[in-house]
């Protein structure tokens, strides 16, 4: 799970163009939206697309996304429970 | 004339700032539209339309597609981002440009589209972009 957390942090920084943000400085439990990393709804769409491309896991709607995107840790747990075997 | 009236009902844009002239077909997640450029179209520069404006044409096509599927009185979409764009050639006066868009993903108020602009077999531009739909919109799968 730790490797997935690290991978997700790098993905967030790269896909959302968070120039100057060190992925290792993102806390596993810090909120991604609002306070914390300060992402917005447009970032959520971009991140959802990137996650589907990388892990084969689809975030179906905003309701599902709000739970998955609560933090890096919740996102990693969400992906782990849903990703196809060939993308493990 | 009937095509202009149809597009008028789907888009608030009016000439010369409307870059879609005809709805050809809407089916599932895809829409096909066209832009008809007169030889003396005032938007042409030295006989050609900037490929960048084709991205606007694709965005307007996406808006027309979405509005053809929306019920309710109040809906308004704003182009939120252009996520990628590639340009291959300019459209010229007298040409009919085919605009193909596909609704890719949605998340909350945001919808991601991809689109291509072609003139016959000649690719002109392709783009991926995101539209934000303001509140008071009910989207149905028509």
- Render pLDDT for B25-69 as a digit per residue (tens, 0 to 9): 999 999 999 999 999 999 999 999 998 999 999 999 999 998 888
Flag the least confident range among A64-68, B99-103, B116-120.
Answer: A64-68
Q: Is domain A2-87 in CATH 1.10.1200.10, yes or no?
A: yes
Per-residue model confidence as pLDDT tens digits over A51-66: 999 999 998 888 898 8
Class of domain B2-139 (CATH, top level):
alpha beta
Helix/strand/coil percent split, chain A, to 5: 60, 5, 35
pLDDT over threshold 50, residue B97? yes
The pLDDT value given to residue B66: 87
What is the domain partition of chain B in residue ranges?
Answer: 2-139
The pLDDT value given to residue B142: 39
The pLDDT value given to residue B141: 42
The pLDDT value given to residue B3: 65
pLDDT over threshold 70, residue B71? no
**Which bin fits B136, alpha (ψ -120 to 50), beta or left (φ > 0)?**
left
Cβ-defined contact of B80 to A42 (cutoff 8 Å) = yes
> Within 10 Å of residue A26's Cβ, how many Cβ atoms?
21
Residues B108, B102: contact at Cβ < 8 Å? no
Mean pLDDT of chain A: 88
Cβ-defined contact of B130 to A41 (cutoff 8 Å) = no
Name the residue in chain A with its Cα closest to that of B81. Answer: A42
Note the ipTM here.
Answer: 0.70
The CA–CA distances, whole Å, from B74 to B10, B122, B131 equal 12, 38, 16
What is the domain partition of chain A in residue ranges?
Answer: 2-87
Name the more confident of A61 and B104. Answer: B104
Residue B79 has which token pair?
């182009």
Q: What 3-state DSSP class applies to B52?
A: helix
The pLDDT value given to residue B107: 87
Among A32, A41, A42, A47, the strongest candidate for a mutation testing the B interface, having the largest count of B CBs within 10 A, is A42
Per-residue model confidence as pLDDT tens digits over A6-46: 999 999 999 998 888 999 999 999 888 877 788 888 899 99
């Amino acid at each position: 799970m730790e490797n997935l957390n690290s991978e997700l942090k790098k993905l967030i920084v790269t896909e959302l163009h968070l120039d100057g943000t060190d992925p290792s400085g993102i806390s596993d439990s810090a909120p991604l939206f609002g306070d914390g990393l300060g992402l917005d709804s447009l970032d959520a769409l971009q991140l959802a697309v990137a996650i589907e491309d990388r892990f084969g896991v689809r975030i179906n709607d905003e309701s599902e996304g709000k739970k998955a995107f609560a933090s890096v840790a919740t996102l990693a747990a969400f992906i782990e429970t849903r990703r196809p075997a060939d993308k493990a | 004339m009937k095509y202009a009236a149809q597009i008028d009902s789907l888009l608030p844009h009016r000439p010369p700032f409307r870059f879609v002239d005809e709805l050809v077909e809407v089916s599932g997640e895809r829409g096909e539209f066209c832009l008809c450029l007169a030889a003396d179209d005032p938007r042409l520069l030295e006989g050609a339309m900037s490929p960048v404006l084709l991205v606007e044409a694709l965005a307007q096509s996406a808006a027309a597609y979405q509005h053809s599927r929306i019920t309710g009185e109040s809906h308004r979409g704003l182009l939120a981002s252009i996520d990628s764009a590639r340009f291959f050639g300019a459209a010229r006066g007298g040409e009919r440009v085919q605009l193909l868009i596909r609704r890719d993903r949605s998340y909350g108020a945001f919808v991601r589209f991809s689109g291509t602009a072609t003139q016959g077999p000649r690719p002109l531009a392709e783009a991926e972009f995101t539209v934000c739909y303001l509140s008071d919109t009910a989207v149905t799968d028509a």
